[in-house]
Amino acid sequence: MLQKRRTFLKTTSLGLSVLATGTAYRCQGKSTPIANVTHPVIISTWDHGMAANKVGLNILKNKGSALDAVEKGVIVVENDPTVQTVGLGGFPDREGNVTLDACIMKGDGQCGSVAFLQDIKNPIAVARKVMEKTPHIMIVGSGAKQFALEMGFKEENLLTEASRKKYEEWLKTGVYKPKINIENHDTISTLALDANGHLAGACTTSGAAWKMHGRVGDSPLIAAGLFVDDEVGAAAATGLGEAVIRTAGSAMVVEAMRHGQSPEEACRSVCLRIKDKHKDISDLQVGFIALRKDGAYGAYSLQPGFTYALGQNETHELYQATSMF
Ligand code: ASP
């Protein structure tokens, strides 16, 4: 997958003035702007965001809600055993357990989340049930699994043969250095704006590969991994969760947009803050995507290599985000 990404993409630089009007350049080296951003729009992290967007945009084009679009979109990725960073086939923790984290949020402030969920391949759908069927926002661990089973989700083994083999290889050294970049993570975060002007977001992951048992990152945390506000816009994160939690990353991106920054400027300001909070950022990757309520969008990352997928009108495109280094 990594190989494919590298050959497919060519880096482009997204100019701030261009982004402020909701346009961007294709990443295959053409400099054709996609003009006139109109509803609906869907934006997702990484290459696998393309698959999520295809399902999500179809829902949006049929007048479906942003909430359905983001949930059904990321489920495609959760169900794909070849994506080893999300759902079925996700890399396990250092003890061999696949543990999943996810959250979902609507622009009116409703949200739901699960963390440290085992044996259920669609944590995003469980998070939605938490939002819709309980008085709570976040349920974790065995409680989340119990709730999922009560809601009719099926228990299954999520550790695929391919991921088990990689885990066994890792065990030979067992060295854990949370170097996070496109090789060993890839949370899917998806943001959508529907035809009624409502926003929603979803974020789902198996977290950092070989993490400590019980470790939870930013992805299931509202404000860190995801934040959505119909009055302003939405943002989501990928990368080293600890760095994103420390800065309440996604909420800060939305607040920066509230204060007038363009989506890319807002993502960049929070990346700068993260940079300032860490002594050594040579191995640190964090990337944000943002979608404003008028359909303008942007992304930014610390290190190069962060890709995001955009779906709107009849087009699906993959972009390389501008990065700090
Ligand atoms: N943010 C995720 C985590 O720290 C990792 C990722 O983006 O893949 O768990």
For residues 278-300, give the mean pLDDT.
94
For residues 10-36, give the mean pLDDT.
34
- Give a yes or no: residue 134 inside a domain: yes
| Backbone torsions φ then ψ of 201, nearest 5 degrees | -145, 155
- Give a yes or no: residue 98 inside a domain: yes
Check whether 23 has a pLDDT greater than 50. Answer: no
Question: Residue 322 in contact with residue 300, Cβ under 8 Å?
Answer: yes
For residues 285-310, give the mean pLDDT.
96
Of the candidates 243, 248, 190, which has an alpha carbon nearest to the alpha carbon of residue 45?
Answer: 190
pLDDT at 180: 53
Domain hosting residue 106, numbered range: 47-159+177-323
Rounded-to-integer distance, Cα 163 and Cα 25, Å: 35
Of the candidates 288, 49, 68, which has an alpha carbon nearest to the alpha carbon of residue 190?
Answer: 49
Question: With a 6 A CB cut-off, is 301 part of the ligand 1 pocket?
Answer: no
Burial class (CB in 10 A: 0-12, 13-18, 19+), 78: buried
Does residue 188 sit in helix, strand or coil?
strand
- Give a yes or no: residue 38 inside a domain: no
Check whether 27 has a pLDDT greater than 80. Answer: no
H-helix segments, 174-262:
241-246, 249-258
- Give a yes or no: residue 35 inside a domain: no
25 band by pLDDT with thresholds 50, 70 and 90: very low
Say which CATH number the domain at 300 has.
3.60.20.30
- Give a yes or no: residue 10 inside a domain: no
Burial class (CB in 10 A: 0-12, 13-18, 19+), 282: exposed
Average pLDDT, the chain: 88
To test the pocket of ligand 1, the residue of 185, 190, 244, 246 to mutate (highest count of ligand atoms within 8 Å of its CB) is 185
Question: With a 6 A CB cut-off, is 206 part of the ligand 1 pocket?
Answer: no
Q: Is the dihedral of CA 220, 180, 80, 54 positive or negative?
A: positive
Question: Residue 123 in contact with residue 102, Cβ under 8 Å?
Answer: yes
pLDDT at 174: 83
The pTM assigned to this predicted structure is: 0.89
Question: With a 6 A CB cut-off, is 84 part of the ligand 1 pocket?
Answer: no
Check whether 10 has a pLDDT greater than 50. Answer: no
Percent of the chain with pLDDT over 70: 86
For residues 20-36, give the mean pLDDT.
35
pLDDT at 281: 87
Catalytic residue among 12, 45, 187, 204: 187
pLDDT at 4: 36
pLDDT at 179: 55
Check whether 184 has a pLDDT greater than 80. Answer: no
Atom of ligand 1 nearest to the CA of 219: 1
pLDDT tens digits for 250-273? 999 999 999 999 999 999 999 999
Say how many Å lie between the CA of residue 207 and the centre of ligand 1. Answer: 5
H-helix segments, 29-103:
49-61, 66-78
| Backbone torsions φ then ψ of 60, nearest 5 degrees | -65, -40
pLDDT tens digits for 32-81? 333 344 679 999 999 999 999 999 999 999 999 999 999 999 999 999 99
Rounded-to-integer distance, Cα 193 and Cα 180, Å: 29
Cβ neighbors of 19 (< 8 A, separation 6 or more) are 262, 263, 264, 265, 296, 297, 298
**How many domains does the chain fold into?**
1
Across 38-42, 193-197, 213-217, 317-321, least confident range: 38-42
Question: With a 6 A CB cut-off, is 93 part of the ligand 1 pocket?
Answer: no
- Give a yes or no: residue 298 inside a domain: yes
- Give a yes or no: residue 186 inside a domain: yes
322 is catalytic: no
- Give a yes or no: residue 274 inside a domain: yes
pLDDT tens digits for 136-181? 999 999 999 999 999 999 999 999 999 999 999 999 988 877 655 5
